[in-house]
A and B are shown apart, each in its own frame.
Chain A
Amino acid sequence: EVVLTQSPGTLSLSPGERATLSCRASPSISSSSLAWYQQKPAQPPRLLIYDTSNRATGIPDRFSGSGSGTDFTLTISSLEPEDFAVYYCQQYGGSPRSFGQGTKLEIK
């Protein structure tokens, strides 16, 4: 079973700053088997990134994903007010599939 651990639990930043969210897999997974989702209050999750680094349809290019093996990163280059939300990683390199516990990105 693959366990995903996201860090930090909460990230406090200001609009315009760069956000770096981490997702660690144990054991390691295929480098192309990770997705990221954004969830705002009272809304379903929205797919941001799939196959580690591919942006989903309609996702702004300020969102980028990278990583391989055990360490994966979601980067938001310059935070917009609408980016403050909870972010989840999800792996599909192992069975059963699993989500990380989430990182809350809040306004500082």
Chain B
Amino acid sequence: QVQLVESGGGLVKPGGSLRLSCAASGFTFRDYYMIWIRQAPGRGLEWLSYISSGGSGMFYTDSVRGRFIISRDNVNKSLYLQMNSLRAEDTAVYYCARVEGRFSPKYMDVWGKGTTVTVSS
């Protein structure tokens, strides 16, 4: 079945780095935009970063631009998020999701269960 499984979360010190992964299965991964969305404890959803189906187009929200890098491997059906210079405010559950929209990202119809990132000394 269609599935997304995130991994790579954990506890990291401020200023540290972490790489999240998202393994996709059950659909043609290379046909879809993919996105990372995060949710801080007790807060709402934040549209973080997305990447086009071929990997050439990327977007970052202001709070992570210059610190996070999104990438994908269409052969191995995986999405990544390299997170550098982490701050306490990056503490959140990080979801990867499949995005509907052939030419631009629209809505998310498949979500992973999320991976938790905690930034604390």
Contacts and interface: CB of A to CB of B under 8 A. Distances in A.
A39 B111 CA distance: 11
Contacts, number: 52
B57 interface: no
Interface in A13-60: 33, 35, 37, 39, 43-47, 50, 56
B111 to A, nearest CB: 4
B107 to A, nearest CB: 4
A49 B93 CA distance: 23
Contact of B100 (A50, A96, A97): A50
B76 interface: no
B112 A44 contact: yes
Is the interface on chain B under 10, 10 to 19, 20 to 34, or 35 or more residues? 20 to 34
Interface in B64-113: 95, 97, 100-101, 104-109, 111-113
A35 B107 contact: yes
Contacts of B97: 44
B108 A47 contact: yes
A37 B107 CA distance: 10
B59 A88 contact: no
B47 A97 contact: yes
Contacts of B46: 99
Contacts of A96: 47, 59, 61
A12 B96 CA distance: 31
A56 B109 contact: yes
6 contacts: A37-B45, A45-B111, A50-B100, A56-B109, A92-B107, A99-B44
